[in-house]
Chain A
Amino acid sequence: MWAMNGPAGSTASIEQDAARKQLVAALARIAGGDKSALRLLYRDTSAKLFAVCLRILHDEGEVEDVLQDVYITVWRRAGTFDPTRASPITWLVAIARNRSIDRLRSGAAARSRSLDEAAEVSDDAPSALAQIESTDEHRRLVDCLNELEPRHAAAVRSAFFGGIAYEELARRMNMPLGTVKSWIRRSLLRLRECLER
């Protein structure tokens, strides 16, 4: 459904569609207990998930633990993946981010983080590389983010990439907590409006 609505015929979208189908097929085989399919899925997705988790936890050892946990979870729960409701990569990203955020909130990682990361907040603009492998869905979201006030869009990006709680986000942006909360909530409502247009 949502992943298929790109401009038909463009090479990028054909490749993305093929990659997606391959991951869907791998998940179906994993659900049937096929270990070689898990290996394929790991080969094709682990570097992305490792990088996503590292942005949240900033500690390779912690991220290794999370990644193991994520793929063992996938091994056990691949049967709950529903290709009509999610794309394989966003499903995996959601599992990996949730694990990382819970780990970050559990304390140790958060406390050990150094102050120099406090300046990191504006470092989340999309890179040129990202634009190359951008999907139609990604371009759509970026267009909608661009309709937001730049500071609000920056807050949404920082929250997503860093898994940062409101309090920490407010501290890093040097803004009152209530202000940051209302930025995020208003941004979510406006994003939804824009995405549904």
Chain B
Amino acid sequence: MSDEPTRDSDDPTPVAGEYVLGVLGAAERRAFEARMARDPQLRAEVEYWERRLGVLASEVKPIDPPPRVWANIEAAIAPGAGRGGLWQNLSFWRWATVGAAAVAAACLVALVYSARAPVPNLPLIAKLQASGGQASFVATVDRRGAGLTIVPAAAPAVSERALELWLIAPGEKPQSLGLIEAGRPVHITVPARLIQSIAPQATLAVSLEPPGGSPTGQPTGPVIASGKLTNL
């Protein structure tokens, strides 16, 4: 990248200042960071320029970021979602995956048996996943009975916050199906007015809400898992 390979080896100021200013290319930045990791003097030079040049940021007029940015941060640091908690514990994942598969299989068996009577519609299933792709909940719906069972697969532990389940029919606003739990399966009787919205392509989503659930009737906290209903 640079056409001047030898530079300023005696005086650390220019290259530390160049790094902080942001004029170095990607490869030069990595090379400089590697040097800095071994050289406390260089680190101090960088801190010097960060202090001195950083004050220029006071000239930039603040712009509020959209609220979803904080919601995503909050979800990422939720207990169990970071800092080596349960969320990052491998043996927990192995256990949870096996456990979830077993529970889901049991649900299916139960559903298939309960659906033996003449059923116009097949049961529905949804795997609710975090944006990272891991299944957090498995939901099964017996459409005839309008009963929904949601089983935590590897749901994050959330203290202080309630988990609320939402039904989102295509093009519609979310409708609350009530509160669920991260630690055990919950059976929900779907309100009559929502039964016809429970159909393939509708989405189920779980959001973090204040204790007692969303005060507004719409999700107010971050969505931690979601998935579409599909025919079994």
Binding site for B on A (CB under 8 A): 2, 33, 35, 38-39, 42, 46-48, 50-52, 54-56, 60, 63-64, 67-68, 71-72, 75-76, 85-87, 89-91, 93-94, 97, 101-102, 105-106, 126-127, 129-130, 133-135, 137-138, 141, 156-157, 159-167, 169, 177-178, 181, 184-185, 188-189, 191-192, 195
Q: Mark B67-87, 1 if CB is under 8 A from A, else 0.
A: 011101110110000110000
B59 within 8 A of A: yes
| Interface membership of B34, Cβ < 8 A | no
- Asked if A129 meets B22 with Cβ closer than 8 Å, knowing A90-B55, A94-B54, A185-B8, the reply is no
Q: What residue in chain A is nearest B22 (Cβ atoms)?
A: A163
Count contacts on B: residues with CB < 8 A to the other chain: 47
**A56 and B60 alpha carbons, distance in the complex (Å):** 12
**Residues of A contacting B24 in the complex (Cβ-Cβ under 8 angstroms):** 165-166
Does B62 contact A51, Cβ atoms closer than 8 Å? yes
Please determine whether B69 and A64 come into contact, CB atoms closer than 8 angstroms. Answer: yes
Find A75's partner among B18, B23, B55, B82 (CB 8 Å cutoff).
Answer: B82
Docked CA distance A63–B65 (Å): 9
Interface segment among B45-53, B149-157, B204-212: the answer is B45-53
* Shortest CB distance A66–B (Å): 10
Residues of chain B within 8 A (CB-CB) of A54 are 63
Q: What residues make up the interface of B, taking CB atoms closer than 8 Å to A?
A: 1-4, 8, 11, 13-14, 17-18, 20-26, 29, 47, 49-66, 68-70, 72-74, 76-77, 82-83
A-side interface mostly? helix
A87 to chain B: which residues have CB within 8 Å?
A: 51, 54
Residues of B within 8 A of A55 (CB): 60
* B63 contacts across to A, CB distance below 8 A: 47, 50-51, 54
B53 contacts A130, C-beta separation under 8 Å: no
Q: A46-B70, A188-B18 are in contact. Are A105 and B56 (CB under 8 A)?
A: no
B179 nearest CB across to chain A (Å): 22
Q: Please, which residues of chain B bring their CB within 8 A of the CB of A97?
A: 22
- Chain B residues in 8 Å Cβ range of A67: 65, 69
> For A159, what are the chain B residues with a Cβ–Cβ distance below 8 Å?
21-23
Q: Is the CB of A141 within 8 A of B70?
A: no
Nearest chain A CB to B208 CB, angstrom units: 12
A64-B66, A181-B4 given as contacts; is B61 within 8 A of A52 (CB)?
no
Is A52 in contact with B57, judged by CB distance below 8 angstroms?
A: yes
